[in-house]
Amino acid sequence: MISIQGLEKRYGDVRAVSGVSFEVQRGEIVGLLGHNGAGKTTIMKIMTGFLEPTAGRVSVGGIDVGADRIGVQRQIGYLPENAPLYPEMLVQEYLLMMAELRGVPASARKAAVIDAVKATGLEGFLVRPISTLSKGYRQRVGLAQALLHKPDVLVLDEPTNGLDPVQIVEIRELIRRLAKDTTIILSTHILSEIEAVCDRVVILIKGELATDARLDELLASHRVRLRLKGGKDIIKALAGVEGVERVKRDGEVGGYTRYLLDCAESAAPIPALLKLADAQGWAVGEAAIEQPNLETLFRELMDARAHQARKAKEGAA
């Protein structure tokens, strides 16, 4: 549905996006995750035709953004980080105006507004001035305007930014409902946002693609945590167990040495590891699957990129 290939965007000497490539299939909810300034909004603006790339290609529904920007925009409902609302207008006035601007035929505008209002739960607010709505409901109005022309793709930039916890839950539930009929790509720097609503995550670090994976696969545990006492050459012995790919010593805890084992399969090595410990006479203080989370993975990616940058700098010197 969405194809991004070799995307690059420069502002003078500043490279905001560098060589990013990924695809989004129909019906997916994909999260763009990254720190502030990672390039998320830049990619969304290029995807929706508001910015031209320095290099690369973006297509939506088989249409190239550079060749037919209007054709792409007809397929997309876009909610920027700051929704373009007119506070003095009534909700229904605003939505009817946006339906006209979206090119919805006059005979179909009322029905389009009704459908968008039902989808976003705004039925009781049609004759309210937008200025009187809470931030959460203003965000719903922004979503409603993005749905008026029944787009195949929804692009949401920081959809819960600045909302209170109750409003965040409401918007997340709304996004999940909308995903039944629409492909959604959303950007955020909030890790829990990705875990709450997305099927897949694309992680950006300093404008570069760091990871592109399904969330369930990314969070599947392939690490075993052991605490052992006694014996020599423990690391070598652990590394020899089938399914263990890497062993790292991770400090001392309560007289035991802690080891982290990256494994080909998350649970399979534990019986073999315990059998080895018994045969070697090692005291076992802990043997457990270490359950990863997005925060840990993101931090590890940031650390890895920082290490690569330091090595490159040292090499250049």
Rounded CA-CA distance 218/203 in Å is: 11
Region for 230 from its dihedrals, namely left if φ exceeds 0, alpha if ψ lies in -120 to 50, beta otherwise: left
Indicate left, alpha or beta for 39 from its phi (over 0: left) and psi (-120 to 50: alpha).
left
CB 186 within 8 A of CB 159: yes
Digit-by-digit pLDDT tens for the chain (317 residues) are 899 999 999 999 899 999 999 999 988 999 998 888 889 999 999 999 999 999 999 999 999 999 999 999 999 999 988 777 999 999 999 999 999 998 999 999 999 999 999 988 899 999 999 999 988 899 899 989 999 999 999 999 888 877 888 888 888 888 888 888 889 999 988 888 888 899 999 999 989 999 898 888 887 767 888 999 987 889 999 999 988 988 989 888 888 999 988 888 655 688 999 999 999 999 999 998 877 778 878 887 888 777 777 777 677 66
Query: What's 2-218's CATH class?
Result: alpha beta
Chosen CATH of 223-289 out of 3.30.420.40, 3.40.50.1100, 3.40.800.20, 3.30.70.1340: 3.30.70.1340
**Residue among 176, 180, 112, 175 nearest 147 (CA):** 112
The DSSP bridge partners found for residue 116 are: none
Phi, psi (degrees; rounded to nearest 5) at 53: -75, 155
Instruction: Give me the numbers of helices (H) and strands (E) for the chain, helices first please.
Output: 11, 14
CA distance 167 to 46: 29
d(Cα 309, Cα 313) in Å, to the nearest integer? 6
Q: Give the type of residue at 236.
A: K
Residue type, 51: L
145 near 95, Cβ under 8 Å? yes
The dihedral through the CA atoms of 16, 185, 192, 144 has a sign that is: positive
CATH 3.40.50.300 in the chain, residues? 2-218
CATH 3.30.70.1340 maps onto the chain at: 223-289
